[in-house]
Amino acid sequence: MKKLLAVLAALAVAVLALAGCGSDKQAASETKVLKVGATAVPHAEVLEQVKDDLKAQNIDLQIVEFNDYVQPNLALNDKELDANYFQHAPYLDNFIKEHPEVKVANAAGIHIEPMGIYSHKVKSLAEVKEGASVAIPNDPTNGGRALILLSKAGLIKLKDDTNIAATVQDVVENPKNLKFQELEAAQVPRAIDDVDLAVINSNFAMQVQLNPVKDSLFIEDATSPYVNIVAVRNGDEERPEIKALIKALQSEKVKKFIEEKYNGAVVATF
């Protein structure tokens, strides 16, 4: 009897030891949750493309959709999210100025929804004549963006071609004596037949069947300050899960998806 009890005790110890080893292995391969806030289009759609890639690395990507531009940064700052992907860099910079308590940083650029210069009257910028009319958005963000694009295209020169708040009063050189017509951003594409040039946001361009890549005479590129970014809390840039997310987003797979899905309305910047 004593011998039997000794054998049973030894078996119990062995089972517990094995269970302990199993727990250690399970802990070592434990799936880590990564919550990323995003607006539905295109950001959440892009994030969906990397879910399986991250799952293979034991990262459970959970996409939390928002329909406003304030809550994603507040939720990230409050540790309700691990990252967000919905905004361009100038928006984040301005948000931080208005909310100094928010400690959020730009971790990586992913895509741009480009602004372009379009025309139904000329086929190239070289054909633009003296006194040509140019329609640009009249709101501060898009107006400055349009002027910077015209400056990069060589049509005008600004006091500071990095000033996203530039206005027509900041134009210091205008060799073709362009005449600016400032309209609501949504109305600029509607005016394309009435002006020589129109500087249009990609979402509005698509609404009138203009393809930003194929139809624009000049378009923003990856150097644009309006690149849409992944944002994280300060100090989290080197977290393994964040680095894995960015690597997955900046992949040829995602670039191909963006090209095929959005037909130029969204352009990868990596």
Contact 73, 231 (CB under 8 A): yes
Any idea what the CATH number is for the domain that residue 210 is in? 3.40.190.10
pLDDT digits (tens, 9 = 90+) for 150-191: 999 999 999 998 888 899 999 999 999 999 999 998 899 999
Same domain membership, residue 196 and residue 134: yes
What DSSP character marks residue 17?
Answer: H
- Edge-to-edge order in the sheet of strand 133-137: 179-183, 133-137, 197-201, 115-118, 218-219
**Positions of E strands within 28-186:** 32-39, 59-66, 83-88, 104-112, 115-118, 133-137, 157-158, 171-173, 179-183
pLDDT at 15 over 80: no
Residue 188 in domain? yes
Q: How many domains are contained in the chain?
A: 2
Same domain membership, residue 125 and residue 104: no
Same domain membership, residue 237 and residue 215: no
Same domain membership, residue 119 and residue 96: no
Global pTM?
Answer: 0.71
pLDDT digits (tens, 9 = 90+) for 53-91: 999 999 999 999 998 889 999 999 999 999 999 998 988
